Amino acid sequence: MTHPVPAGAPGAGAMVTSALPLPLVRRGKVRDVYAVGDDRLLVVASDRVSAFDVVLAEPVPAKGAVLTQLTAWWLRQLDGRVPHHMVSADATEIVAQLPELAPHARALAGRAMLCLRAEVFPVECVVRGYLTGSAWKEYRHAGTLAGEPLPGGLRESERLDPPLFSPATKAETGHDENIPRAAVVERLGSVAAAELERLSREVYAFGRDVAAARGILVADTKFEFGRRAGQLLLIDEVLTPDSSRFWPAAGYAPGRPQPSFDKQPLRDWLEGERAAGRWNGDAPAPPLPAEVVQATSARYLDAYRRLTGSELDVALTR
């Protein structure tokens, strides 16, 4: 069913590609999405990892389970505050509802989420609490974000108070593009646009406070929303290392880039290969050494542990 990595190879036990007896809706860079009847989805987070917009050949063990279980952890806390798409992230429960998946239960453990299917708004709802990434790049050159002026004199990684709602278009390929809030109103109407901003700010503020108490800064994060039976739903992954920049609070200082919590070993190694002239920055990337794969896996597990205060159940990571 899945395509497991051979024992002994880097990433052994990890999943590159799922293959389930359900209609495949799409394969993203990281997640495989299947239809469950007309109105639900099974979202399966693989252990694929991307860096510098290139998907690496080697999977990162436990990464898919971290993404799914961290999203589930946040969504449970948002129950009753923000309507969301999660039905279950417990493979035993999912298999009980979908007996045709029984032969795949082990492969799904930890990484699968049964969701309510929504009509996705074509806008990435980014909230920025610190000035970094594409926002810093534009600000440094033009003093603006998505063409709109920001206060002068901000430094790289500076805290933004209040946080900025910074929508972007969902690009089919390549980088997402930051757009002004007026463009969201144009696309979705003022009522939906205001609601997306309100919910994005609320979820970000909640996540920022929880993470801060655990020594993690949520520099920025991306949410997706959809509509279902006239109601807005928070969908997709929520406050994970793949949808957010997490920085260790210890050692934070504006005026320079901050180390990222998760893919830093991977990025550092790839940068080294590039600097040495062994990689030109395009796909395919050079094969990752086992210790880089392991270090990256450990970072994802550490992000889960630090945020939730518990170890990810290892039964969910194989």
Q: Does 284 sit behind a cis peptide bond, omega within 30 degrees of 0 on the bond before it? A: yes
Indicate the residue whose CB is closest to ligand ATP: 28
Residue 290 binding ligand ATP, by CB under 6 A: no
Closest approach of ligand ATP to the CB of residue 237, in Å: 7
Residue 28 in the binding site for ligand ATP (CB under 6 A): yes
**Pick from 78, 118, 126, 146: which binds ligand ATP (CB under 6 A)?**
118
Q: Residue 236: how many CB atoms within 10 A of its CB?
A: 24
Q: Would you count residue 104 as binding ligand ATP (CB under 6 A)?
A: no
Q: Among residues 74 and 139, whose Cβ is nearest to ligand ATP?
A: 74
Does residue 126 interact with ligand ATP by CB under 6 A?
Answer: no
Say how many residues touch ligand ATP, by CB under 6 A: 17
Quick check: 298 binds ligand ATP (CB under 6 A)?
no
Considering the complex, what minimum distance in angstroms separates the CB of residue 28 from ligand ATP?
A: 2
Helices 190-212 and 63-78, interaxial angle, to 10°? 110
Minimum CB separation of residue 140 from ligand ATP in Å reads 25
Which residue stretches of 1-157 are H helix? 63-78, 91-97, 105-108, 133-142
Q: State the alpha helices, DSSP H only, in the chain.
A: 63-78, 91-97, 105-108, 133-142, 181-188, 190-212, 264-275, 290-308
**Residue 115 Cβ vs ligand ATP, minimum distance, rounded to whole Å:** 4
Q: Which is nearer to ligand ATP, 235 or 270 (CB)?
A: 235
Gap between the terminal Cα atoms of the chain: 14
Using CB under 6 A as the binding rule, whether residue 117 contacts ligand ATP is answered as yes
- Considering only residues 120, 150, 154, 295, which one is a binding residue for ligand ATP as defined by CB under 6 A? 120
* 236, 262, 292, 301: which one binds ligand ATP (CB under 6 A): 236
312 belongs to the binding site for ligand ATP (CB under 6 A): no
Taking the C-alpha atoms of residue 60 and residue 30, their distance in angstroms, rounded to an integer, is 11
Whether 234 contacts 85, CB under 8 Å: yes
Q: Does the protein bind ligand ATP through residue 30 (CB under 6 A)?
A: yes
43 binds ligand ATP (CB under 6 A): yes
- The secondary structure of residue 4, as a DSSP letter, is B
Closest CA to 292 of 58, 67, 63, 64: 58
| Closest residue by Cα to residue 5 from 298, 294, 314 | 294
**Nearest distance from C-beta of residue 5 to ligand ATP, angstroms:** 19
* Residue ranges in 216-235 that form contacts with ligand ATP under rule CB under 6 A: 224, 226, 235
- Nearest distance from C-beta of residue 252 to ligand ATP, angstroms: 27
List CB contacts of 266: < 8 A, sequence separation 6 or more.
Answer: 49, 51, 56, 288, 292, 295, 296
Q: Put residue 229 in one of left, alpha, beta given phi > 0 → left and psi -120 to 50 → alpha.
A: left
Tokens 């509509």 label which residue? 227
Q: Which residues bind ligand ATP (CB under 6 A)?
A: 28-31, 33, 41, 43, 85, 115-118, 120, 224, 226, 235-236
